Copies of this chain bind each other. A is one copy, B any other.
């Protein structure tokens, strides 16, 4: 592992000169710069991150805190990797690297976050799975750590966020379903107190009112994410005393389970139960086609990255960097399921 010292010795110049040459400082002779760059290339020199971090106080790493579900039912399996890809595509332009950290399910996730921050591992963080009231946001604000959340929260510390347009989804879904004559429309949300659950519930109620439909609490179904829950959902819905004729699903994997559950009973999505899905990757393999709302995840990742860049003053010479707060729009994909 060649260090800057080796490089300097090899060239017969001082380490200061080498450092300046490599970091594009102005006050260095053109010829020496070229010699240094060439030698660095040849010897495969790459600056040690620890030394660099220690000196300049930043690491060039962006941490994404990924929380896994204790039961291993990651709602995000099909979601996050594409987002990561989008993020990295932007971060690369700024010489930054995305570092995904697995918040160990055993440890209290807030504790984990504290350690990551205090160790000074990352220059900025991305939080996901935002709760309605989210202590992590308070913590990061207090610590002055630049961060962006993927998902909104009622905990508002002026932080930038990006989110999916859940309101738009519910509005569109209920417009559509009522137009088709549905009067009993169920909404399926996660058990966990994630912020989008509240968002969807709120809009759901409002939309029902708009159409003069009475709100029935039993039609808001709280259930874990994952395909197996989707299967369970079938019995749950079909065995209700006054069962819904349509279901709005928020988890990506629920449609798969529900299709299966219906199939086992000889029922057909769309004909026997209307069904709308959200952000369902793999949706194209369902038959009959799933009517659903699609989000561009790669694009979302890119936006998250940009929002983050605005929070890193040493990278942008922006006088007054904007606080990005956006819901990314959906594409409605018409299918036969509802």
Please give the residue numbers on chain A whose beta carbons come within 8 Å of chain B beta carbons, in ascending order: 1, 44-51, 53-54, 59, 61, 66, 68, 72, 74, 76-78, 80-82, 84-85, 87-89, 92, 97-102, 104-107, 114-115, 118-121, 143, 227-228, 230-231, 253, 256-257, 259-260, 263-264, 281-282, 284-287, 298
Contacts and interface: CB of A to CB of B under 8 A. Distances in A.
Contacts of A228: 284
A92 B78 contact: no
Contacts of A256: 282, 285
A292 to B, nearest CB: 14
Number of copies: 2
Given A1-B118, A50-B120, 14 more contacts: A1-B143, A46-B119, A48-B118, A50-B51, A61-B121, A66-B84, A85-B102, A97-B102, A99-B99, A227-B284, A231-B285, A256-B282, A259-B287, A263-B287
A121 B282 contact: no
A259 B286 CA distance: 9
A282 B105 CA distance: 22
A227 B102 contact: no
B253 A44 contact: no
Contacts of A281: 77
